[in-house]
Amino acid sequence: MIPVIGYKGAKVAVLGLGRSGLATAKALRAGGAEPLLWDDSAEARAAAEAEGLSLTDLTRNAAFEGVAALITSPGIPHLYPHAHPVIARALELGVPVDNDIGLFFQSWARPEWDNFETPPRAVAVTGSNGKSTTTALIHHILQAAGKPSQMAGNIGKGVLSIDPPEDGEVVVLELSSYQTELARALTPDVAVFTNLSPDHLDRHNGPGGYFAAKRRLFAEGGPDRAVIGVDEIEGRFLAGQMAQGPSDDRVIRISSGQKLEGFGWSVFARKGFLAEWRKGKQVASIDLRSIKGLPGAHNHQNACAAYAATRALGLAPKLIEEALHSFAGLPHRSQLVGEKAGVRFINDSKATNVDSAAKALQAFPKIRWIAGGMGKEGGIAALAPHLGSVVKAYLIGHSAPDFALQLGQTPYEICETMERATARAAEDAQVGEVVLLAPAAASFDQYPNFEKRGEDFTARVAALLA
C-alpha cells in the first residue's frame, strides 16, 4: 500500500467504493487522514462496511463541513455529460476534487529513496487502443530483464494498493482518459501515448475534450521522455508540442506503417520489422513476424511503444527482443487459445467496436470470423474495407441479423450462440485459417462483460480440441 501524504488529521471524502475507492480509503487512513466514504449503491456500501470502513452520506447538505478534498472514482462523471450531484456540490463549495492517480503521484516518493542507488521510476501509458497490451508488455520486458517492476492502474492492482517501490523499481501504469482528466498530480518519468480513435465522447463532450484528457499526461505531467504514436494527427500535434524540434530526442515518435527517419529518436514497424533510429542512423532491428503473442500491425505498434519505453529506461535492444518472444499476450486481446491441424483459434473478445475489430481483421490472412452481440451505432458498415480476409462470418447475439445485412458479398451464417458459432467455424476451417472471435459489439445481450464472452469462447475451443 502507498500511504497518502498531505492529509494527516484531515477529513477526506471518497465517492465510489469499487476497487479504486476502497484502496483509496485504506491508503488515506494509512496516511493519517479520516476518510468519509459514500457510494450510491447499497451493495457497495455494505461491502465497505464488511471491511471495517465507516460510511458518511455525502448527499447531505452538511456533509462537506471541514472536508479538505473529495476523491472520486474514475467512472463517476465530474463534468460531462453532467456532474454527479456530490461532485457538483464539492465544486460549488470550492472543495478540491481529485482521484487515486493524483494521490498516487502526490504520495509515492518516500524519504527512504534518499538511500537508494537508483530512485524508482514511473511509466504511464494512455491512448485509445493498445493501452493494456503495451502496459503488460513493458512490465513483462522489465521482469524478463531482471528489473523489479509492478503493474497497476486500469490493469492489475489499483495504484494505491501496490507495495512501496524498492531500489531501482519501475511502476508501470495504464491510465484511461477518465483518470488523466481529473488527477491533480501527474509526474511520470516516461509517458506513452499509443493512438487516438473516437471513444467516451459523451463523457468528454466530443473528440476535443477526449484528446485534451489524454494530453494532460504530457503537457502537465512533464515526463523526462515522451513516447508518442504519430499515426494520427493528434499524436503528431502532441509530439510537436512536446519537442523543441525534430532532433529533440526527449520525444520518441513511434509508428506502425510509417518510416520515421528524420527525427532525433524514433521507433517504427513496417512489413513486420521493428526499427530503431537515432540521430539519422538505424541502431537496432527486430523481426516481429514470428512473435505469436503480438500478431498484426496493431500489436506491432504496441511492440514499438513498449520497446521505446524500455529503451528510454536504459534496456539493451537484445534484452528487449528476447522478452518480446516470451510474451504470451493478454487474455481476450488477440489471444491464441488453441491450435489444431493447422487451424489457430484467436480470442479477441475485447474488440467491442469497429476500430478494434478492424485491427484484428487485418492481423490474419484467412479468417473464420465470429462476430455480433449488442451492436453499436452504425453496426459494422465501417468494416467493409477490411472484409477481404474473411472467408466466412458466423454471427451471434442481438445484432446478428443487422450485421448480416452489412456484410455485402461476404458469406455468413447466423448462429445466434457462441456454442454453435464456434462449432460451425471449427468444422469449416481449413489448414492455414484462423477462427477469430472479434465481435465488433458489446457483450451485454448475452454476457455480463467481454471477459465472460471470451472465457466462453475459450472453453468452447478447449472442448472441441480435447
Taking a C-beta distance cutoff of 8 angstroms, is the pair 36, 11 a contact? yes
> How many angstroms separate the CA atoms of 93 and 85, rounded?
12
For strand 97-98 and strand 190-193, is the pairing parallel, antiparallel, or unpaired? unpaired
> How many angstroms separate the CA atoms of 37 and 51, rounded?
12
- Grid look-up 455525502 returns 58
151 backbone dihedrals φ, ψ, rounded to 5°: -125, 135
Taking a C-beta distance cutoff of 8 angstroms, is the pair 172, 123 a contact? yes
> How many angstroms separate the CA atoms of 11 and 70, rounded?
9
Assigned C-alpha cell, 1: 500500500
- The string of DSSP codes covering 385-406 is GGGGGEEEEEEESTTHHHHHHT
Q: How far is CA 15 from the centre of its chain?
A: 23
Q: How many Cβ atoms are within 10 Å of 119's Cβ, its own excluded?
A: 13
DSSP summary character for residue 188: -
129 known ligand binder: yes
Assigned C-alpha cell, 124: 504511464
302 known ligand binder: no
Length of the chain: 466
Helix pair 42-50, 19-30: axis angle to 10 deg: 40
> How many angstroms separate the CA atoms of 228 and 242, rounded?
10
Cα–Cα distance list, 11 to 35, 68, 135 (Å): 6, 6, 34
127 known ligand binder: yes
> Going by C-beta distance under 8 Å and a sequence separation of 6 or more, which residues neighbour residue 385?
none
Q: How does 298-315 read in b/e, with b if 16+ C-beta sit within 10 Å?
A: bbbbbbbbbbbbbbbbeb
Cα end-to-end span (Å), the chain? 43
130 known ligand binder: yes
11 known ligand binder: no
Assigned C-alpha cell, 363: 492481423
Q: How far is CA 162 from the centre of its chain?
A: 18
The dihedral through the CA atoms of 175, 181, 186, 192 has a sign that is positive
Taking a C-beta distance cutoff of 8 angstroms, is the pair 453, 418 a contact? yes
* Residues flagged as binding site: 127-133
Numbered residues of the known binding site for ATP: 127-133
